């Protein structure tokens, strides 16, 4: 009987210890869940703000400048030009080479709405960036 009681006490202690561990894990999971919910809400808010800006830009382009649509080529090239304008230069040679291809493709597109001189400037900037990377 004593042995059974001792065994039962050990089992109860082990179970209590396991329960404590599980409770701590549950608290950690709940805390992580709250962090993820907060992060998710921030992402949703950011996405809504970006969407508002997108709608405003589309409205401005259409109603103020008569641009109904923007080709994918022009959009990609404008993204690269924006990066160059704001000195957000890549350190990745493959990315720089893709930028060069994007700008060159836009430059060769007869329907581009981007000024050829702006594209030429961007192409030269990216070539300089690639040459600078090759020196290292």
User: What is the full DSSP assignment across 5-41?
Assistant: HHHHHHHHHHHHHHHHHHHHHHHHHHHHHHHHHHHHH
pLDDT at 132: 85
Condensed to tens digits (0 to 9), the pLDDT of residues 98-132 reads 999 999 999 999 999 899 999 999 999 999 999 98
- Look at residue 135 and tell me whether its pLDDT is greater than 70: no
- Tell me which residue of 114, 111, 109 sits closest to 84, measured CA to CA: 114
pTM: 0.64
Token digits of residue 22: 């599980």
**Mean model confidence pLDDT for the chain:** 93
């Amino acid at each position: 009987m004593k042995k059974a009681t001792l065994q039962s006490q050990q089992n109860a202690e082990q179970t209590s210890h396991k329960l404590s561990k599980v409770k701590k894990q549950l608290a950690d999971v709940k805390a992580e869940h709250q962090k993820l919910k907060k992060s998710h809400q921030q992402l949703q808010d950011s996405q809504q703000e970006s969407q508002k800006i997108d709608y405003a830009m589309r409205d401005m382009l259409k109603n103020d400048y008569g641009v109904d649509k923007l080709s994918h080529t022009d959009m990609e090239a404008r993204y690269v030009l924006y990066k160059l304008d704001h000195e957000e230069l890549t350190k990745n040679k493959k990315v720089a080479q893709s930028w060069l291809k994007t700008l060159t493709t836009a430059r060769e597109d007869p329907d581009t709405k981007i000024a050829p001189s702006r594209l030429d400037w961007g192409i030269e900037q990216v070539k300089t960036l690639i040459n600078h990377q090759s020196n290292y």
